[in-house]
Structure 1
């Protein structure tokens, strides 16, 4: 009996040892067979970029500059950043980059890393030319060294002629993919698209949709068509899309999907990219594109009416949110490059689904900010009316835009100066026409991949590469945005605010005086000469007096 018990104990002990041995061997085999999966959990974003050679197209553009600055500052051990730059205005690529890195955007980076310029390698390129205008030597160098590609270059002009838009947005993407296939050490290819590439749909998921047309047939057709014929057929080609920009970006996405082959590719789709939220400092913006020019026109008092729906979602997304999403997407695709799915990962980088903000709210915050902190030499006090009614919009255009601009140009002629306001108003109306489609519609974007990406970040990476727009406080962001247009686009110093406020008060007094004179003239010319008009006038005044008396009495009774 005792022997039997001893045997049972020994058997249980041996079985336990065997299970432990098998479990340990299984874990070792798993770590051997799947090393990347284990590494993906542990490696941080800065660690992933350590020692990597990165290629950026569009680095001199708004988003490209922020991407370059953030990559160098938050991933200080990146080996080198190659930037494709074309010669412009008598400057070669090196001179353009040297001038670019002296701007305010790079101040923080200059303080933290004195030698960051040495990591930036300009490469002369022209995206509209064959093989991107790259020399054979540069192609070989890129093919040998590049590990990560960020394709940010594109034309963002909504009214770009179709042939030019196809050349820059579609053909350049196609040629860059061909170059990427020759890069021996390439790990990730990131293509920056737009959330509005498929704006003909109300629900936009994180997938590449079928193209509006076969891009190869379109490219072949555009080669033999003259410009006049292309302009005539463009409206029929783009169909229910509002412009050539969204049309060609949809084609570019399809090109990426069809021609990426075995490349590890992801697509980032930002919505309306605005000023920075936090990095490198709040409110940085350097251009008049998109809403920035509209905000400035409203602050100057030039824009007084706009065709938009108050309840439509203004899907603004800060540029640093887009950049952080882009860098994190490259990290995720890079560490999972051996276990990734074969399909192209798409990330909708938007705010409307989780933190909606409407155009009526945009208008309120822009006007209130510029009334507190006015722009210098404003034309009129800031005040904008949004309307979706075409007739009302046309009325306000005539009364609030064209008539004052015409009168102001007469004043400029009388004082011997060059009239300019009608030209400014004409340019403003063209810009507003291009934005009407986006200020009058709302979309629903799926963000499952973006949420998944956020959940993959470590606690530290979530702080350094934050793209959680649920934390975005819109009132604070809009004030920083408006102040950013004042400081960085118009180069107005905050020390000039007292004078600007004084000028705004002067404009208010002029308006009151003008309205008083207008009422007196109407009285003298129309009302004082007609008994019926006087009776109507007295009736309206007495009615207003009775209403005010009733309102005052009601307020007194409540207290």
Structure 2
């Protein structure tokens, strides 16, 4: 009896193992999937884009080619920007292990905001004939961007790209990078589409005849309960995908606030001052004194390397899941270039499906940390202060920070400890024939805090069914190499690397001069103590409190010694 039961259990285990193996066999390893693939990336020179490029070359070495959509920027041509890209810190490790990786990088000049995206007929032909996977990372990340600009970059751009993608005869996957906050007017957000409350086609028509001043005046009414144009236009972009992305193998990735890398390509690696990173640097330099935030809520932040891994995995799963689904409509995507592009290469956002309100199924993946590995704002502040004390930036003043939910307390602290000292600092700079900058920087910090205040005083819950399934669909090796699991890192260690990364990659101070920075920090602590003591002594002396205390102590002394006598 016992032997039979044991045999049944062993049989069940073997059956389950075989079933798991069969499930995993449906999905190739990521290295196998990306082998001989041509990748197209918009926003490839940005933070997330650099991470995707580096990871692909390092962990999928057989990738055939990566084509970057690059525009002219500040009088620097696309070719020069590509050359500069390969020498950035993100590729330090890659330059040692694969010195010739840049040979697989190419670019296409573009202007994604123009109707034809600035693409030549030759570029269009290359894209149509060669591209297998598209990562659309380009976006305007300014939360308070003018609505016309935000709509053009975040909504119209994806519509034009979808029209372009219809002519890509070998397209396997099209990944759109959205944001977990696109529906932040809801407290619970699942991996599905939600109604935006406004039709993007109607908005497109209205923006054509309205001038910028009128748009600015009515923007609050258009936003409704949303905090800014960024979240609105990201939601509208998703709606456009749902209605116009049929017959394309697409998926949407929604990360929360992306922060410096935990491990790859370099611990603490970062490239910009968006989101909480600006506050980290401002605190470390001693120019930030107060922020409005609810210390009890979860700060949903995610290291960039986890997002990169999730994006690469999502592309593979989308391609494999779409193989049978899109096989019957493959011929439609093999349209001739002139039918897809139009007579003059016009990628107008107008689409025959845009007026239809029917949504087509598109997988959505959330990459967040709050549900599986949460860090509360009070913990974030605590870790940040502790690590900046050990690994300081070269401080301009003593780093101090008040985190409050009270706006009056916040404004008082800002004026007394940030704005006023900045004013006197600028006066001194002016008197010494140097360019004043402190008030300007202080104003930028205040403006940044106002934009992010909404996200530090509210909390959301995101569903993760699809992203959990995605992680489980990877091979055992890829689940470690391309992990997007929020539980895979420790927050205290991440904040340590975050702090060190701000010095190395953003402020770019000498990493061998920590001893000098610690000495400066100690001097500022002594100076601040002396100042506080002096102010207290002056206050007590001016108000007569010091004389009263002295008399009280003298009376108590007389009483005590008189009692013992």
| TM-score, scaled relative to structure 1 | 0.87
1:354 to 2:339 alignment = no
* Whole-Å separation in 1 of the counterparts to 2:410 and 2:364: 38
Change (3 A) 1:445 1:345: same
The answer on whether the counterparts of 1:40 and 1:335 sit within 8 Å (CA) in structure 2 is: no
The answer on whether the counterparts of 1:194 and 1:268 sit within 8 Å (CA) in structure 2 is: yes
**Match of 1:345?**
363
The answer on whether the counterparts of 1:267 and 1:344 sit within 8 Å (CA) in structure 2 is: yes
1:368, CA displacement in angstroms? 1.2
1:539, CA displacement in angstroms? 6.4
The answer on whether the counterparts of 1:39 and 1:335 sit within 8 Å (CA) in structure 2 is: no
**Match of 1:33?**
none
Helix, strand or coil at the partner of 1:267: strand
* Whole-Å separation in 2 of the counterparts to 1:430 and 1:535: 45
1:486 to 2:503 alignment = yes
* Whole-Å separation in 2 of the counterparts to 1:346 and 1:190: 10
**Match of 1:402?**
419
**Match of 1:549?**
none
1:515, CA displacement in angstroms? 2.1
* Whole-Å separation in 1 of the counterparts to 2:518 and 2:324: 60
Cα-to-partner distance string for 1:213-257 (whole Å, 9 max, x where unaligned) = 111110111011001000001010011110000000000000111
For 1:156-235, list aligned pairs within 5 A: 156-235=141-220
The answer on whether the counterparts of 1:333 and 1:340 sit within 8 Å (CA) in structure 2 is: no
Change (3 A) 1:302 1:141: same
**Match of 1:308?**
293
The answer on whether the counterparts of 2:177 and 2:253 sit within 8 Å (CA) in structure 1 is: yes
**Match of 1:437?**
454
* Whole-Å separation in 2 of the counterparts to 1:333 and 1:418: 54
* Whole-Å separation in 2 of the counterparts to 1:38 and 1:478: 37
Cα-to-partner distance string for 1:515-552 (whole Å, 9 max, x where unaligned) = 23223322332216xxxx74467769999xxxxxxxxx
1:103 to 2:88 alignment = yes
For 1:417-432, list aligned pairs within 5 A: 417-432=434-449
Cα-to-partner distance string for 1:68-123 (whole Å, 9 max, x where unaligned) = 11111111111111110001223221210110110111011111212211111100
1:451 to 2:436 alignment = no
**Match of 1:468?**
485
1:65, CA displacement in angstroms? 0.9
Change (3 A) 1:403 1:39: closer
> Structure 2: any 5+ residue segments left out of the alignment?
1-21, 327-359, 557-565
Cα-to-partner distance string for 1:185-226 (whole Å, 9 max, x where unaligned) = 111111000000000000000001122311111011101100
Cα-to-partner distance string for 1:113-163 (whole Å, 9 max, x where unaligned) = 122111111000101111211111111110111111111110000111000
> Structure 1: any 5+ residue segments left out of the alignment?
1-36, 544-559
The answer on whether the counterparts of 1:324 and 1:465 sit within 8 Å (CA) in structure 2 is: yes
Change (3 A) 1:311 1:38: closer
**Match of 1:511?**
528
* Whole-Å separation in 2 of the counterparts to 1:85 and 1:416: 41
Bigger Cα Rg: 1
Which has the larger displacement, 297-306 or 110-119?
A: 110-119
Helix, strand or coil at the partner of 2:184: coil
1:441, CA displacement in angstroms? 0.7
**Match of 1:260?**
245
Helix, strand or coil at the partner of 1:132: coil
For 1:19-38, list aligned pairs within 5 A: none
| TM-score, scaled relative to structure 2 | 0.86
* Whole-Å separation in 1 of the counterparts to 2:478 and 2:279: 35
The answer on whether the counterparts of 1:286 and 1:485 sit within 8 Å (CA) in structure 2 is: no
Change (3 A) 1:539 1:132: farther
1:273 to 2:291 alignment = no
* Whole-Å separation in 2 of the counterparts to 1:101 and 1:176: 25
Helix, strand or coil at the partner of 1:134: coil
Which has the larger displacement, 340-349 or 180-189?
A: 340-349
The answer on whether the counterparts of 1:40 and 1:336 sit within 8 Å (CA) in structure 2 is: no
* Whole-Å separation in 2 of the counterparts to 1:83 and 1:301: 39
Helix, strand or coil at the partner of 2:117: helix
The answer on whether the counterparts of 2:24 and 2:474 sit within 8 Å (CA) in structure 1 is: no
Change (3 A) 1:149 1:239: same
Q: Give the superposed CA RMSD.
A: 1.9
1:42, CA displacement in angstroms? 5.5
Relative contact order higher in (CA < 8 Å, ≥ 6 apart):
2
* Whole-Å separation in 2 of the counterparts to 1:65 and 1:230: 34
